[in-house]
Structure 1
Amino acid sequence: MVAILASYTVTPKEETPKGFLWLSDNDQLWRWSHTPLLYIYKPNHNNVDVHVLVETMRGSLGQILVHYYPLAGRLSWTKGCRLELDCNAKGAVLLEAESTKSAVELGDFSPNNESVKELIPTVDYSRPIEELPLFVAQVTRFHGSNVIAIGILWSHPLGDGSAAIHFINSWAKLTQGRTINANELPFLDRTVLKPPSHQPSRRFDHREFKPLPLVLGKTDNIEEQKKKTTFAQLKLTPIQVQKLRKNANKNAKSQRQYTRFEVIGAYIWRCASKARRELKENQPTAAKLNVNIRNRLNPPLPERYFGNALAPTVTPTCYVGDIISRPLSYTTQKIREAVERVSSNEYLRSQMDFIAKKERWDSIRTPYLERGEYRADVPFFGNPNIILGSWMSMPAYEADFGWGKPLHFGPGAVCPYDRAMISLRPQEEDSHGVDDVVVFLHFQEAYMQDFIKFFWEDIRESSCSTQAKL
Structure 2
Amino acid sequence: MTVITSTSTVVPSKPTPSGLLWLSESDQMAPWTHAPLVYIYRHNNNNTIPFVMETMRNSLSEALVHYYPLAGRLHWIEGGRLELDCNAMGAQLLEAYSEAKLDELGDFAPTDTVQDLIPKVDYTTPIENWPLFLVQLTRFRCGGLCLGVAISDSVVDGQAANSFINSWAKLARGENLGDDQIPFHDRTVLRSRKPLMPPRFDHVEYTTKPPLLIGSMDSQAEQQKETSVTLLKVTSDQVESLRKIANQNMVMRLTRPYSKYEAIAGHMWRCACKARASNNRQSTRVRIGVEVRNRLKPALPRGYFGNAMFGTVTSNCLSGDLLSNPLSYASGKLREAIERMTDEYIRSALDFMASQKHIGWLRNNFHIRGYTNAPFLGNPNISIGSWINLPFYDADFGWGKPVYVGPGLLNIDGKSFIMPSPVADGSLIIALRLQTQYMDSFKKFFYADMDCKEPHAMSAKL
TM-score for both structures, normalised by structure 1: 0.92
CA distance in 2, matches of 1:57, 1:187: 24
Matched, 1:162 2:153: no
Matched, 1:151 2:168: no
- Within-5 A mapping of 1:172-321: 172-209=169-206, 210-252=208-250, 253-255=252-254, 256-277=256-277, 279-321=278-320
Identity %: 48
Match of 1:53 in 2: 52
Instruction: Give the 3 Å change call, closer, same or farther, for CA 315–5 of structure 1 in structure 2.
Output: same
Match of 2:455 in 1: none
Q: Is the 8 A contact 2:7 2:93 kept in 1?
A: yes
Instruction: Give the 3 Å change call, closer, same or farther, for CA 458–225 of structure 1 in structure 2.
Output: same
Listed one character per residue, the Cα deviations across residues 101-135 of structure 1 (whole Å, up to 9, x for unaligned) are 222344442222x3222211111111100000010
Q: Is the 8 A contact 2:285 2:315 kept in 1?
A: yes
Query: Greater CA deviation, 101-110 or 3-12?
Result: 101-110
Q: Post-superposition shift, 1:372?
A: 5.6
CA distance in 2, matches of 1:47, 1:56: 20
CA distance in 2, matches of 1:418, 1:78: 32
Match of 2:23 in 1: 23
CA distance in 1, matches of 2:307, 2:270: 29
Match of 1:405 in 2: 401
Q: Post-superposition shift, 1:212?
A: 1.1
Q: Is the 8 A contact 1:37 1:410 kept in 2?
A: yes
Q: Is the 8 A contact 1:44 1:403 kept in 2?
A: no
Unaligned 5+ runs, structure 1: 428-432, 462-470
Listed one character per residue, the Cα deviations across residues 117-162 of structure 1 (whole Å, up to 9, x for unaligned) are 221111111110000001011111111x220111110110111011
Match of 1:468 in 2: none
Q: Is the 8 A contact 1:230 1:414 kept in 2?
A: no
Q: Post-superposition shift, 1:361?
A: 2.5
Match of 2:376 in 1: 380
What amino acid is the match of 2:416?
A
CA distance in 2, matches of 1:269, 1:392: 18
Aligned pair count reads: 449
What amino acid is the match of 2:363?
R
Unaligned 5+ runs, structure 2: 453-462
CA distance in 1, matches of 2:200, 2:300: 22
Match of 1:417 in 2: 413
TM-score for both structures, normalised by structure 2: 0.94
Give the secondary structure class of the aligned counterpart of 1:158: coil
Q: Post-superposition shift, 1:270?
A: 0.4
Q: Is the 8 A contact 1:229 1:415 kept in 2?
A: no
Query: Greater CA deviation, 260-269 or 354-363?
Result: 354-363
What amino acid is the match of 1:21?
L
Matched, 1:459 2:456: no
Q: Is the 8 A contact 1:229 1:418 kept in 2?
A: no
Listed one character per residue, the Cα deviations across residues 224-247 of structure 1 (whole Å, up to 9, x for unaligned) are 122232211112112111111111
- Within-5 A mapping of 1:112-127: 112=111, 114-127=112-125
Q: Post-superposition shift, 1:382?
A: 0.6
Runs of 4+ in structure 1 deviating by more than 6 angstroms, as ranges, are: none
Q: Post-superposition shift, 1:48?
A: 4.0
Give the secondary structure class of the aligned counterpart of 1:157: coil
CA distance in 1, matches of 2:281, 2:3: 53
Instruction: Give the 3 Å change call, closer, same or farther, for CA 80–18 of structure 1 in structure 2.
Output: same
What amino acid is the match of 2:296?
L
CA distance in 2, matches of 1:288, 1:118: 28
Q: Post-superposition shift, 1:367?
A: 4.4
Q: Post-superposition shift, 1:251?
A: 1.3
Q: Is the 8 A contact 1:248 1:328 kept in 2?
A: yes
Give the secondary structure class of the aligned counterpart of 2:6: strand
CA distance in 1, matches of 2:369, 2:272: 25
Listed one character per residue, the Cα deviations across residues 360-418 of structure 1 (whole Å, up to 9, x for unaligned) are 4232101437566534xx32111111111111121001100111110111111232231
Q: Is the 8 A contact 2:43 2:49 kept in 1?
A: no
User: What is the CA RMSD across the aligned residues, in angstroms?
Assistant: 1.7
What amino acid is the match of 1:449?
D
CA distance in 1, matches of 2:46, 2:239: 38
What amino acid is the match of 2:415?
R
What amino acid is the match of 1:273?
C
Give the secondary structure class of the aligned counterpart of 1:389: strand
What amino acid is the match of 1:57?
M
Instruction: Give the 3 Å change call, closer, same or farther, for CA 460–330 of structure 1 in structure 2.
Output: closer
CA distance in 2, matches of 1:240, 1:368: 32
Instruction: Give the 3 Å change call, closer, same or farther, for CA 373–14 of structure 1 in structure 2.
Output: closer
Listed one character per residue, the Cα deviations across residues 242-270 of structure 1 (whole Å, up to 9, x for unaligned) are 11111111112323211111111101100
Instruction: Give the 3 Å change call, closer, same or farther, for CA 101–65 of structure 1 in structure 2.
Output: same
